[in-house]
Amino acid sequence: MKRMTCSKLTLTAGLLLTSGLTGCTSTQSTQSTQSTPEGPICATAQGELTPDAVLADLMEGNARYVQGTQSNPDIQSRIEVTSTGQFPQAIILSCVDSRVPVEMVFDQGIGDIFVGRVAGNVATTEQIGSMEFATKLAGSKLVMVLGHSSCGAVKGACDGAELGNLTALLAHIKPAIDAVEGVPADKRNSKNKDYVAQVVDKNVDLTVEQIRSSSSVLRELEASGDIKIVGALYDLHDGSVTLK
């Protein structure tokens, strides 16, 4: 996939393609397997992106992450470039789990994506408001809900855990628990890995539905084709992301 960026970085030979857009460069894959530093997306490039192109870029980045061939953007240069503005291509709602480093998972750098994190990747009012900001005001083209295998928050919800403010947070996962059918009562707990996986999966689906139903802003942007709202699952065992 061809990705346009705004950068002060020097690209290695064979991967530099200068565009006619002021301040923007674009990089295009070649047969070379070596990764190349590239800068964050600029305003012009962000405006020309489509939701499908952004989704493809994220999934290609995940493939590099799984293969261990991530790019290596110059962090200091990116800090300098983004100090005067940002034009992220997507916003991803993820769990707080330390084993799911979202930018790394999709091989993205400073300025590339917004990331919202909360245990159980649930869509609170604050998270949905952040999505509205990221898309309607900041120009992002994709909203992704990223669940992950063996989610501790889901396990806690399955076991009816209660602890301070965590109790109210885990209540957001209860609809997913109720939606999983065909599992006997004595198997509906965190010890049942298959059951937990089903709840994790259903929780992502219901969160995507909730985002659409709770936000007319996002719903209208998706209906007009300006954004796409998707769910995905991250596998802790191999680092792969599967779209739902």
Reported pTM: 0.87
What are the pLDDT digits (tens) for 40-87? 989 999 999 999 999 999 999 999 999 999 998 889 999 999 999 999
Residues 6+ apart with CB under 8 A from 2: 26, 27, 28
Domains of the chain by start residue, with CATH? 3-243 (3.40.1050.10)
Helix, strand, or coil (residue 25): strand
Q: Provide the β-strand partners of residue 196.
A: none
Q: In what order do the strands lie in the sheet with 90-94?
A: 113-117, 90-94, 142-148, 228-234, 241-243
Query: Parallel, antiparallel, or unpaired: how do β-strands 113-117 and 16-18 relate?
Result: unpaired
What are the pLDDT digits (tens) for 13-49? 222 222 222 234 333 333 333 334 578 989 999 999 9
Instruction: Report whether 229 contacts 212 (CB < 8 A).
Output: yes
Average pLDDT, the chain: 88
112/123 Cα distance (integer angstroms): 22
- Which residue, 105, 121, 104, is CA-closest to 169? 121
Instruction: Report whether 41 contacts 93 (CB < 8 A).
Output: no
Instruction: Report whether 40 contacts 2 (CB < 8 A).
Output: no
